[in-house]
Structure 1
Amino acid sequence: MNGDRRQFLRNSLAAAGAGLVLGTAGPRSLLAAATTPPQSGLAGLFAPDFAVGTALSNTTLLGQNPSLESLVAREFSAITAENAMKWEEIHPTADSWDWQRADYFVEYGQRTGMYTIGHTLVWHSQMPEWVFIDQDGKPRPKAVVQKAMEEHIAAVAGRYRGRIQAWDVVNEAVTDDGKWRESHWYNTFGEDYFSRAFHLAREVDPKAELLYNDYNMTIPAKRDFALAQIQKFRKQGMPIEGVGMQAHVHLSEPEIAKLEASIEAIAAAGLEVHITELEVDVLPKAYDYMGAEISTNFEYSDELNPFRDGLPQKVADQLAARYESLFNLFLKHKDKIRRVSLWGTTDAESWKNDWPVVGRTNYPLIFDREGRPKEAYYSVAGLKGESRSG
């Protein structure tokens, strides 16, 4: 990002002033004032290229943040439920279902005309123990677990049939070193659970796009193993349209070249690429400090939480440059990419504030805690000619 453009972005942010709050004058009005022709948020800017999405938190889905809903409707064209459709949230016990948040999510998607992604049907995490362990603490037989999977997918995908455009059918089934994750699913079924989940989803909803979603897909061993398994099952008739490539990235890694290699590999396998769960972590990696002290040592906590009072301008510039480089890459491969979805809308709701260390203050998204567009927002919008200076 050159100096003139960076100064332009700062001037645009300054023009927003203290009066820019969620639900009032927003990025749309800023873009309209600064560019010709005006566009309707990122969704409008990138409409010729790919859908631009965000994740909706449970707080938003409980109706506690209508101003954030307005921001999402203005800026994005796709939504994912961050937690509302995960098994422990929607089906906590064998005989109970909680549809409130998921229903609202789907209704919001229909009301706003969003490309709506269900997340997720089969995952090893955020799972209630009853699915795999009986009341005596013993593993349930394969037939019982299979029935639970079948009933769950039938109920969830069936309830929203025709209103969900895509499902993350299976989430994070592969380890970083290129093996099947030895989850309860795998230990009960073997690798066949993977294919079975996709067949069940297709039987319940014949029209939804079916996706596999995973993180660290820039690691060649992981990516290549996952794609090899998908290809094997596809030859046996497994229905799948695309791969969700989670993008929980940092300021400098993974390198753009590694991201590009994985985009190309997924596309070469005949699958659509979905960039999912995008955010840019600006804090020190907790794993560099890992030890028992993280939860107890105040000095260590300070080292891991250096920006609790605000993001320094230097880091804000780095964040804007990183988002610009990422979206430059996505535009380069727009013929392969179906969607780019951020994992949250504002810094206030990002899960990276509390993971992997509770209490940290992070700034990984393109809107600040008050819903104002950051320099990172303008660096992305500028790629479409809507924020460039002269």
Structure 2
Amino acid sequence: MRLRRLLLVSAAAVALGGTLNVVPVSAGSSPPDPSNQSLKALGQRHNLYIGTAVDMAALDDPADPKYRELVKSEFSSVTAENVMKWESLEPTRGTYNWGPADKLIEFARKNNQKVRGHVLVWQNQLPTWLTEGVANGTISTTELRDLLKKHITNVAKHFKGKIWQWDVVNEAASDPWDSPSSIHLKGFWAQHLGPNYIADAFRWARAADPSALLFYNDYNLEAFGDKGPSDKTYYVYNMVKQLKQSGVPIDGVGSQGHLGTQYGNYNAFQVKEALDAFSGLGLSTAFTEVDVRSQMTAGVQGGDSNEINPRLQASSDNFSVLMQACLANRHCLSFTFWGFTDKHSWVPTWFTDPLEGLATLYDESYQPKRAYYAIKSDLIFAGPPYVLPRGKK
């Protein structure tokens, strides 16, 4: 989860055609009205799973039943927002807290939803006992590697058979605004274990759960730049290409899709090009953490429609561009929102200078925004039976 800083000029979005699971319609008849169907049901027309990250505190809050109701009714897959991260699962060395994650798994089972596992290896949200042990020298490099292997193995085995896709390694690549600007491996694991930890992580995950799809997941992978040394998408493309060529068991690439309306962002043609490049390597693709935030200016916070409406329209366009590109790539398996309501969005707590928000499909009162209807329209009008060849007059 990170902010987009690449400034690119947007262009017109692409109209898409062709779907799976087309419902036949007889000549002269009209298909049923799909506008009241859920995102989950509309995604099924394309064999596309529509998901959301889940805040377990909100899911369990008896005073907020609407949250639980919408997670159940609108989405066909769920991702643990935090409770599958290392600091949550093993806050004390050797003592695991499986309860909250198991509760999400059971919720998904009861509601016939798939689960994306997030995350096995990430440099953030690590337990204090691990990072402090490395810092003070009580955990050696050899022991650290063994601990990582143990963590991946224990977690993947605990959830074996219950996870559809695992984010095995998350956000390993640097950003063009870092120093140096050329993209490189960054963070705790690269610093202490070197670059081979990525291949090791995928091999350990496959050994622990042979049936789960194994993903590399990162932000700012929506489209290629100039394919130079500061192009993060191109760097990750070459990295996963090398992993595949080396026999590493990687199944897919997850593009997080954290966008902001203050940036130019991409059009659907550019996003599809990147998805096609990854799937051309024999990999599945997915959008894994989609949201579109806006700056919460004094006018926005004061309710000025002159400032609010353009942001909602820009947000809607950005959501739609990602969905159109996903629909156009037959290997794009799932489209996951990083939360669906502003009431429980991570954005205002993370982006505070300046304050940002308005990042999800529903407002704080669970009213659907323009972006919700844009996503629904994309799912409905991506081909037959709702879009048919023009007739002759």
Instruction: Report the TM range for the smaller structure's normalisation.
Output: 0.7 to 0.9
Aligned to 1:223: 233
Structure 1 residue aligned with 2:389: none
Q: State how far apart, in whole Å, the 2-side matches of 1:107 and 1:61 are.
A: 12
Distance 2:323 2:189 in 1: 35
Q: Could you tell me whether the CA contact under 8 Å between 2:157 and 2:209 is conserved in 1?
A: yes
Q: TM-score, normalised by structure 1?
A: 0.79
Instruction: Tell me, in whole angstroms, the C-alpha distance in 2 between the residues paired with 1:362 and 1:141.
Output: 42
Pair 1:366-2:377 in alignment: no
CA distance in 1, matches of 2:364, 2:333: 28
Partner of 1:169: 168
For 1:42, the equivalent position in structure 2 comes to 39
Give the corresponding residue for 2:250. 240
Identify the residue that residue 315 of structure 1 maps to in structure 2. Answer: 311
Number of aligned positions between the proteins:
335
- Whether the 8 Å CA contact 1:54–1:343 is kept in 2: the answer is yes
Residues 194 and 135 of structure 1: is their aligned pair in 2 closer, same or farther, counting only changes over 3 Å?
Answer: closer
SS in 2 for 1:340: strand
Instruction: Give the match's secondary structure for 2:84.
Output: coil
CA contact (8 A) 1:61 1:101 kept: no
Give the equivalent residue in structure 1 for 2:114: 115
Q: 1 CA distance for matches of 2:123 and 2:259?
A: 22
Secondary structure of 1:46 counterpart? helix
Please give the alpha-carbon distance, in whole angstroms, between the structure 2 residues aligned to 1:307 and 1:37.
33
Q: Is the 8 A contact 2:185 2:195 kept in 1?
A: no
Measured at CA, do residues 104 and 63 of structure 1 come closer, stay the same or move farther in structure 2, by a change above 3 Å? Answer: farther
| Cα distance change on mapping 1:249 and 1:139 into 2, 3 Å | farther
Where does structure 1 lack aligned partners over 5 or more consecutive residues? 1-34, 285-302
Distance 1:140 1:72 in 2: 41
* Partner residue of 1:204 out of 202, 205, 208: 208
1:1-390 superposed matches below 5 A: 36-37=33-34, 40-49=37-46, 50-64=48-62, 65-134=64-133, 137-138=136-137, 140-177=139-176, 179-217=183-221, 218=223, 219=225, 220=227, 221-251=231-261, 252-256=263-267, 257-283=269-295, 303=297, 306-310=299-303, 312-333=308-329, 335-357=330-352, 360=355, 362-385=357-380
Give how far 1:171 is off. Answer: 0.2
Alpha-carbon distance in 1 for matches of 2:302, 2:217? 35
Report what 1:28 is aligned to.
none
Q: Is the 8 A contact 2:134 2:140 kept in 1?
A: no
Map Cα deviations across residues 180-217 of structure 1 (whole Å, 9 max, x no partner).
33322112221111011111111111100000000011
Which structure features the higher share of helix residues? 1
Q: Which deviates more, 342-351 or 139-148? A: 139-148
- Structure 1 window deviating more from structure 2 (354-363 vs 99-108): it is 354-363
Query: Cα distance 1:100–1:246, how it changes in 2: closer, same or farther (>3 A)?
Result: same
SS of the residue corresponding to residue 168 of structure 1 reads strand
Q: Distance in 2 between matches of 1:185 and 1:139?
A: 17
Distance in 2 between the 1:136 and 1:189 partners?
A: 14
SS of alignment partner, residue 83 of structure 2: coil
Matched residue, 1:14? none
Across the aligned residues of Structure 1 and Structure 2, the Cα RMSD in angstroms comes to: 2.6
**Which residue identity is paired with 2:376?**
A
Work out the CA distance in 2 between the residues paired with 1:359 and 1:136: 33
Which whole-Å deviations, capped at 9, do the CAs of 1:114-134 have from their partners, x for residues lacking one?
120010000011112432442
Unaligned runs of 5+ residues in structure 2 are 1-31, 177-181, 387-393
Question: Structure 2 length normalisation: TM-score?
Answer: 0.78
